[in-house]
Structure 1
Amino acid sequence: MVEFVKLASIVLLLFSTVSAASVRADEPQMLITNSYDADSFSFLIAGDNGGFPEPFYSTQLQRGVAASMANQSEAHDCKFILELGDNFYFLGVKDIYDRRWRGTFEEVYDYPSLYIPWYITTGNHDWGGSVQAQIDYTKISTRWTFPWYWYTLEHTLEPSGTKIRTIMFETTIPCGIGTTGIDGVPIDEEMAEEEWAWLEKELQDSQDADYLIVTGHYPIYSASTNGPTVACLKNRLDPLLRAYGVSAYISGHEHSAQYLLSNDGSPVKYIIIGCSNFVTPWFANENSDVFSAEFLFASWRDILTGCFARADVTTEHMDITIMEGKEGHELYTITIPKRSAS
């Protein structure tokens, strides 16, 4: 099954086309803010949860993860969900009327506790279809929230003023959509440079955040086949994360869960949540000398289990707990301290 998924991915992407015209649209860049009168709140993280093409629409693993996510959301009163891309395997959606919306998203996540905002970024498979349609769906959905290719979330606890900023960085535009891997060739060079400039400005403007998170589809470090590093992001994104004191970089793409720390002393926590629909049970680079693999999840026994994560934000610290997808068991918790805001 895993080899079929990989082969299908390559074949289908060979038939997809991405042009600058498909990227351009007149939409504003967005800052979405919310505050909670509480001393804590929780949210969920899912990655690579894009189901399967017609006539199947979804997978058994995706449906099981959805049920566990619903249980966690109800139990912890989760406020929103971060979705890390590859929202529709293998060629995205055609338009806002595509049957994939119902079969892969709406019907799979049809639980009352999951009718909360879903904050979206896109992955390489989404670019096989219309990413503009995923933006446009925001206008007709009560929960799908994807106002622009890149945008920022700001959530504040009151009255303490504890603030988490989450910068939703679109990695496919600057790093490309290769058929056998991440090729590092931008989809649109001008737009890629616009996004890089926007990102640095957002990081500069986020220095008062108690927790500063950046998300993207592609990882920077990986113990899986795309590792040990992704050059496009290691060379340009990683230095920005370090320079501006980012707490964690959360990505998908690899169909596993990973928690990695760089061996050169970087304080950034590198987290991968990419097994909300498929599991790829091998780690070709787990013994790399460039990072320490603190936690890895993806084995043959997990092939129909999958994963997601729950984040719990408090006035003192933030915990990201990697969850087993079938029964919702807690697997590993990553504690992120408050930043020394400047």
Structure 2
Amino acid sequence: MAVVWNKHLVLGLVLGFCLVFSLGELERFVESPKADGSLAFLVVGDWGRRGNYNQTEVARQMGIIGEKLDINFVVSTGDNFYEDGLTGVDDPAFKESFVNIYTHSGLQKQWYNVLGNHDYRGNVEAQLSPILKKVDSRWLCLRSFVVNAEIVELFFVDTTPFVDEYFREPKAYDWSGVLPRKPYLSNLLKDVDLALKESRAKWKIVIGHHPIKSAGEHGSTAELIAQLLPIIQANSVDLYINGHDHCLQRISTSDSPIQFLTSGGGSKAWRGYVSWPNPEELKFYYDGQGFMTLQVTEAHIDVVFYDIEGHVRHHWSV
């Protein structure tokens, strides 16, 4: 049930420092901006490979930049554990791909994670379990939720159940909590729409694993274009951020004011593939490993893409 926003209406304590509030059916977490009202965070996706494919090197640069910017938190765009998610809460992959990799002091902040399609190939409830927080207090993974940081709100959306092909593949997916699919998606879209409508933040950012628009190997997601894009356009969303394609990119199309950003270079990257019909709309594309940072104030958002050596590959502001 929706409630009027009130910082002093505390419904519960989550993660030691985040407050959780009711907002439609989506859980809501609160992050406090810095003393000057600004906010900074990292975005990385498609990373969980036990340090392989340069995951460790990307993590090191994330730590260096994270410490320099004094980030508030880290966002993961999904595919947290390859190839098939976690087998359970005691799966050693959690430590081998997360705890033992992101050890830099600059990364000892809250992590907000969404599920990717590879995570759905494992035990989804394991990733969602609060037991993992006891292993590493930074971890938070939910299907869909909201993070409010006053000047900006982040809306995390569970995109994997939208994609038709996963329901046709012989590979097993863990659809517990999703089936029946039609009402799950219908309720999710209503909840996202309500949360966006109730937002009073200056900036609105929607985050999911799958791209709405992408020049990468997977390309744009037709189901999201048909079902999610109309909602986020109607609610004046500024950025849509995703992973899934193992690259870094920014697309700005003539038919939408939304910037489409991909940060899926956390480990294994795809080199040599790029396809977009209008080159003028593809503002940046890098088919290597890396991550993204966002610095947010009342007046502007600064987006920077970094490669595996910590070099700036692209900088954009709005």
Could you say which residue in structure 1 is the equivalent of 2:122?
129
CA–CA distance in structure 1, aligned partners of residues 251 and 195 of structure 2: 25
Secondary structure, counterpart of 1:66 in structure 2: helix
Matches within 5 A, 1:280-319: 280-286=270-276, 288-289=277-278, 292-298=281-287, 302=288, 306-319=289-302
What is the CA distance between 1:193 and its match in structure 2? 1.6
- Tell whether 2:216 aligns with 1:224: yes
Matches within 5 A, 1:327-342: 327-336=309-318
Matches within 5 A, 1:105-120: 105-120=98-113
Q: TM-score, normalised to structure 2's length?
A: 0.84
Q: 1:235-259 CA distances to partner (integer Å, 9 max, x unpaired)?
A: 1111112111000000010000110
Secondary structure, counterpart of 1:35 in structure 2: coil
Could you say which residue in structure 2 is the equivalent of 1:244?
235
Stretches of structure 2 that go unaligned for 5 or more consecutive residues are: 1-24
CA–CA distance in structure 2, aligned partners of residues 64 and 122 of structure 1: 23
- Tell whether 2:136 aligns with 1:144: no
Q: TM-score, normalised to structure 1's length?
A: 0.78
- Tell whether 2:176 aligns with 1:209: no
Contact between 1:174 and 1:189, CA under 8 Å: does it hold in 2?
no
CA RMSD of aligned residues (A): 2.1
1:267 maps to amino acid: P
CA–CA distance in structure 2, aligned partners of residues 72 and 177 of structure 1: 37
Matches within 5 A, 1:1-342: 29-36=26-33, 37-51=35-49, 57-136=50-129, 137-140=131-134, 141-146=136-141, 148-156=142-150, 163-176=151-164, 178=166, 179=169, 188-206=181-199, 208-227=200-219, 229-264=220-255, 266-286=256-276, 288-289=277-278, 292-298=281-287, 302=288, 306-325=289-308, 327-336=309-318
Contact between 2:144 and 2:158, CA under 8 Å: does it hold in 1?
yes
Contact between 1:263 and 1:290, CA under 8 Å: does it hold in 2?
no
What is the CA distance between 1:39 and its match in structure 2? 3.4
What is the CA distance between 1:85 and its match in structure 2? 0.2
1:135 maps to amino acid: L
Contact between 1:121 and 1:149, CA under 8 Å: does it hold in 2?
yes
Q: 1:68 to 1:167 in 2, by over 3 A?
A: same
Q: Moved runs in structure 1, 4+ residues, more than 6 A?
A: none
Give the number of aligned pairs. 283
Contact between 2:251 and 2:260, CA under 8 Å: does it hold in 1?
yes
What is the CA distance between 1:330 and its match in structure 2? 1.2
